[in-house]
Amino acid sequence: MKKKLWMFAVLFFVAIVAAACNSDDASSDSEGGDKVEIFSWWTGAGEEAGLNALIEVFKEKHPDIEIENAAVAGGAGTNAKAVLASRMQGDDPPSTFQVHGGAELNESWVAADKMEPINDFYEEQGWMDKFPQDLIDLVSKDGDIYSVPVNIHRGNVIFYNKKVFEENGLEAPTTYEEFFAVADSLEAAGITPLALGDKEPWTATQIFENALLAVLGPDDYRGLWTGDVAFDDPRVKEAAEIFGQMLDYVNEDHASRNWQDATQLVANGEAGMTIMGDWAKGYLAHDLGLETNVDFGYIETPDTDGEFMVITDTFGLPKGIDNVEDTKKFLAVLGSVEGQDAFNPLKGSIPARVDADPEKYDQYGKDTMEDFKNSALTPSLAHGSAASEGFLTKANQAVNIFVTQRDVDQLVQALMDASSDL
Ligand code: GAL
């Protein structure tokens, strides 16, 4: 009898535990179930600190929701974009993924009917007047909004080594004429004038797009992407010539470096300048521990004063995910003042929101916020906003060939040929 009672007690206990486990499953299913998988290319030095800070803010608010940081290394999404494309084609979307506002979002994913419109979510969060209208337009198609911008990066920046400039009596160049004069002085002093790491070709495309902006001005630069200005316009050739001349001043081992390796040359004084988006500011200040305006300075790329090459990292809601509610909770944090002010000071970007706290940013961030308000805004080609992925892939290839062959006419012809993909 005693034995029977004991057996009964054991069975009863097992049944209770099993019921508790089942009810756990059921409750997590009803709240959205799976973990939130965040897909980006923010991994490693200069890339991941901001995202990690954002995830921390999320974890404090939602300790019960698991986050999977699914980042694929490679600047500007060199590898991540291909992995994403195959997952999207295989109907295996991540919960949310990094995508640039503009063509990359609208022509790759919205046009393919892979994204949910999130207008109601914007209304619920009270966001309609919290992001600049220009930015909302970049993440919208046919009146529907498809993603949430976490930041604004600037693409037309020269970062330079302050000590090297001081020791050589140099001023930061504002025009191409000044740029080449400074470059000659640096070269004469045995310092690499311009650090480049084009192991991933987008870094060279970024130098070229800034030359296009300088020569064409903001309206006609935009015209390249709307088809109003053709690539055989003589000013495109002029920009390619300037780009070629700049390549005369880069480090010999440029083809084996990535953007971080090139930025390091400026940090340690082997090179004077580099042209890079302001994620390089995050890398210099946060990862390498250098001080803004003491160790390194910054200025817009030559002849682009009053112009701002916009790069915005955004995250949306892919169709077909099964944890919509939890993913929206992540997007809510990413679009909040708190989330943006945790992410952006580390990333080197400025907040996408208009009501973030400037005091959380160093002088670079403060200056960039002011410039953003007062500049002509132009979309970056190298970072997916200006033109379709098909055009960008061909442009990167053409630029890559140009870096070794320096054939201006061939570059222009390749862009002409690619323009049917715009
Ligand atoms: C850009 C992206 C930035 C930064 C950079 C380097 O495309 O918008 O956030 O990650 O690439 O990888």
Tallying the residues shown for the chain, one arrives at: 422
Q: Is ligand 1 within 6 A of the CB of residue 311?
A: yes
Distance CA 418, CA 9 (A): 75
Quote the pLDDT of residue 20: 39
- Please tell me the distance between residue 189's alpha carbon and the centre of ligand 1 in angstroms: 33
The pair of structure tokens assigned to 387 is 């033109």
The pair of structure tokens assigned to 149 is 């911008």
- Ligand 1 atom with the smallest distance to the CA of 279 is 4
The domains of the chain, with CATH numbers, are 30-153+311-374 (3.40.190.10), 157-309+381-419 (3.40.190.10)
- Please tell me the distance between residue 75's alpha carbon and the centre of ligand 1 in angstroms: 6
- Please tell me the distance between residue 98's alpha carbon and the centre of ligand 1 in angstroms: 10
Distance CA 192, CA 360 (A): 34
Residue appearing with tokens 């390549």: 247
- Ligand 1 atom with the smallest distance to the CA of 384 is 7
Residue appearing with tokens 């063509």: 103
Of all protein residues, the one whose alpha carbon is nearest to atom 11 of ligand 1 is 76
Sign of CA dihedral 288, 344, 200, 173: negative
Read off the DSSP letter of residue 359. G
Residue 243 host element (H or E): helix 234-247
- Please tell me the distance between residue 206's alpha carbon and the centre of ligand 1 in angstroms: 12
- Please tell me the distance between residue 304's alpha carbon and the centre of ligand 1 in angstroms: 21
- Please tell me the distance between residue 5's alpha carbon and the centre of ligand 1 in angstroms: 66
Residue 108 near residue 336, CB atoms below 8 Å: no
The pair of structure tokens assigned to 144 is 């529907």
Q: Is ligand 1 within 6 A of the CB of residue 46?
A: no
Q: Is ligand 1 within 6 A of the CB of residue 153?
A: yes
User: What is the SS3 assignment for 101?
Assistant: coil
Of all protein residues, the one whose alpha carbon is nearest to atom 7 of ligand 1 is 76
Best mutation site among 47, 257, 396 for ligand 1 pocket (most ligand atoms within 8 Å of CB): 47
- Ligand 1 atom with the smallest distance to the CA of 382 is 7
Quote the pLDDT of residue 16: 40
Quote the pLDDT of residue 14: 41
Q: Closest Cα partner for 275 from 155, 190, 386, 357?
A: 155
- Ligand 1 atom with the smallest distance to the CA of 347 is 9
- Please tell me the distance between residue 185's alpha carbon and the centre of ligand 1 in angstroms: 31
Q: Where does residue 116 rank: exposed (0-12), middle (13-18), buried (19+ CB within 10 A)?
A: middle
- Please tell me the distance between residue 102's alpha carbon and the centre of ligand 1 in angstroms: 15
The overall pTM is greater than 0.85: yes
- Please tell me the distance between residue 45's alpha carbon and the centre of ligand 1 in angstroms: 12
Q: Is ligand 1 within 6 A of the CB of residue 107?
A: no
Q: Is ligand 1 within 6 A of the CB of residue 76?
A: yes
Contacts for 138-143 with beta carbons within 8 Å, 24 or more apart? Answer: 138/101, 138/102, 138/105, 138/310, 138/312, 138/379, 138/385, 139/101, 139/105, 139/312, 139/314, 139/316, 140/106, 141/106, 141/110, 141/111
Of all protein residues, the one whose alpha carbon is nearest to atom 8 of ligand 1 is 313
Distance CA 18, CA 241 (A): 73
Instruction: Tell me how crowded residue 342 is: count the other CB atoms within 10 A of its CB.
Output: 22
Quote the pLDDT of residue 34: 73
Best mutation site among 38, 39, 40, 41 for ligand 1 pocket (most ligand atoms within 8 Å of CB): 41
Distance CA 56, CA 346 (A): 13
Q: Is ligand 1 within 6 A of the CB of residue 279?
A: yes
413 Cβ neighbours under 8 A, 6+ residues apart: none
Residue 91 near residue 298, CB atoms below 8 Å: no
Distance CA 250, CA 192 (A): 6
Sheet arrangement for strand 157-161: 192-195, 271-275, 157-161, 296-300
Q: Is ligand 1 within 6 A of the CB of residue 282?
A: no
Of all protein residues, the one whose alpha carbon is nearest to atom 5 of ligand 1 is 76
Q: What is the pLDDT along the chain (422 residues), one digit of tens a residue?
A: 444 444 444 444 444 434 333 333 333 333 445 799 999 999 999 999 999 999 999 999 999 999 999 999 999 999 999 999 999 999 999 999 999 999 999 999 999 999 999 999 999 999 999 999 999 999 999 999 999 999 999 999 999 999 999 999 999 999 999 999 999 999 999 999 999 999 999 999 999 999 999 999 999 999 999 999 999 999 999 999 999 999 999 999 999 999 999 999 999 999 999 999 999 999 999 999 999 999 999 999 999 999 999 999 999 999 999 999 999 999 999 999 999 999 999 999 999 999 999 999 999 999 999 999 999 999 999 999 999 999 999 999 999 999 999 999 999 999 999 999 99
Q: Is ligand 1 within 6 A of the CB of residue 159?
A: no
